[in-house]
């Protein structure tokens, strides 16, 4: 991913004339590859609308696809290959020329893209926080001992077990509506979901409480959308660059560098969250054991123009504080277990 310095330099060099030229050279048609879930289609339609506003002479269509990650719901992502299962089929469509761009939740994008692909733009971030959803209890802290809480994330599970050891944390897969249906049917006392997903689907009223980063540090890239295209299509990258939000891109770049340096994946309970103010990035991160028995966390601040260096520095700091031992234990056969 480009650094914020390169993005800002690109925007400055472009100027109004270059923007107008890009609009004139926009193709007659563009195809967006997207997962077929309701949330993914909302995201694709959101990007579609923005592209059609920027390039009114271009017809933008959506290619909805059911990925392997969507088809296999009875097993945790950590056991079947991670969130990259939501991305690969869309990349295959790009490689075959069936689509020009794939729209992803950045939290689903593997930390290292396969050769031939690039993230051309990161959109402005929505609410990055996790949401506590319950029909009976007002806050996470109000749940009684033994209450059953559903989550699909090792990151959330690790933090929940560490901070609320009396809760019964149970796996929960499926799309947002499926998870809410299971809560409504009484299978769970509460579920933890991404606030941005609920808001995008018009379900903000289902949010019982928002969890501060201090209570549940968000996933790397949570709340931001990424536009992926082939790296041999600079014409496409130039079109999509107008949707890039430099501040969000800097934050996500720092978070992804932090995760990448720690070999972050679905198999690693890890969170990272950066905020930008006055040209400075403040990055927080943690690595934990799946059972919550140990969490190593830290924070760092530095120039916004060097997000990757900042992420790598925080990763090294956490390794020195004990993250290396946690990661080594996770590499042992069967370490993730039934997460």
Q: Is 231 exposed, middle or buried (0-12, 13-18, 19+ CB in 10 A)?
A: middle
- Straight-line distance from the first to the last Cα atom of the chain, in angstroms, rounded to the nearest whole number: 30
For residues 163 and 95, the answer to whether their CB atoms sit within 8 Å is: no
Q: What whole-number distance in Å separates Cα of residue 268 and Cα of residue 145?
A: 26
Tokens 């950590």 appear where? 78
CA-nearest of 249, 227, 310, 258 to 125 is: 249
Region at 82 (left for phi over 0; alpha for psi -120 to 50; beta for the rest): left
**Cβ atoms < 10 Å from Cβ of 49:** 11
Tell me the C-alpha distance between 1 and 257, whole Å: 10
Closest CA to 187 of 179, 198, 195: 179
Which of 70, 100, 108, 130 is flagged as catalytic?
108
Phi, psi for residue 310 in degrees, rounded to 5: -65, -45
Phi, psi of 53 (to 5 degrees): -70, -40
- State the residue for tokens 């060099």: 13
Residue 108 bears catalytic tag: yes
Q: In whole angstroms, give the CA distance from residue 297 to residue 304.
A: 21
The residues annotated as belonging to the active site are 108
């Amino acid at each position: 991913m480009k650094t914020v310095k390169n993005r800002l330099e690109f925007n400055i060099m472009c100027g109004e004339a270059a923007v107008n030229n890009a609009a004139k050279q926009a193709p007659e048609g563009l195809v967006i590859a997207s997962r077929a879930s309701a949330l993914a289609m909302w995201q694709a339609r959101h990007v579609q609308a923005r592209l059609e506003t920027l390039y009114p002479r271009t017809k933008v269509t959506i290619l909805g696809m059911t990925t392997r990650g969507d088809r296999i719901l009875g097993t945790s992502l950590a056991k079947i290959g991670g969130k990259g299962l939501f991305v690969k089929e869309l990349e295959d469509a790009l490689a075959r020329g069936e689509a020009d761009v794939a729209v992803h939740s950045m939290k689903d994008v593997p930390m290292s893209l396969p050769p031939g692909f690039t993230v051309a733009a990161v959109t402005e971030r929505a609410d990055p926080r996790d949401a506590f959803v319950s029909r009976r209890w007002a806050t996470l802290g109000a749940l009684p001992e033994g209450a059953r809480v559903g989550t699909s994330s090792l990151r959330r599970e690790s933090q929940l077990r560490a901070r609320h050891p009396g809760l019964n944390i149970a796996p929960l897969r499926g799309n947002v509506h499926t998870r809410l249906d299971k809560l409504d049917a009484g299978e769970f006392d509460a579920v933890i979901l991404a606030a941005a997903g609920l808001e995008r689907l018009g379900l903000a009223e289902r949010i019982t409480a928002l969890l501060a980063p201090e209570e549940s540090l968000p996933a790397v890239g949570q709340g931001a959308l990424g536009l992926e295209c082939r790296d041999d299509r600079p014409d496409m990258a130039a079109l999509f660059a107008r949707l890039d939000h430099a501040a969000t891109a800097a934050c996500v770049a720092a978070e992804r560098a932090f995760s990448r340096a720690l070999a972050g994946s679905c198999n690693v309970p890890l969170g990272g969250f950066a905020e930008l103010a006055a040209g400075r990035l403040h990055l927080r991160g943690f690595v934990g054991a799946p059972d919550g028995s140990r969490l190593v966390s830290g924070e760092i601040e530095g120039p916004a123009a060097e997000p990757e260096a900042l992420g790598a520095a925080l990763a090294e700091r956490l390794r020195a504080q004990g993250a290396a031992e946690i990661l080594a234990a996770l590499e042992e056969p069967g370490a993730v277990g039934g997460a």
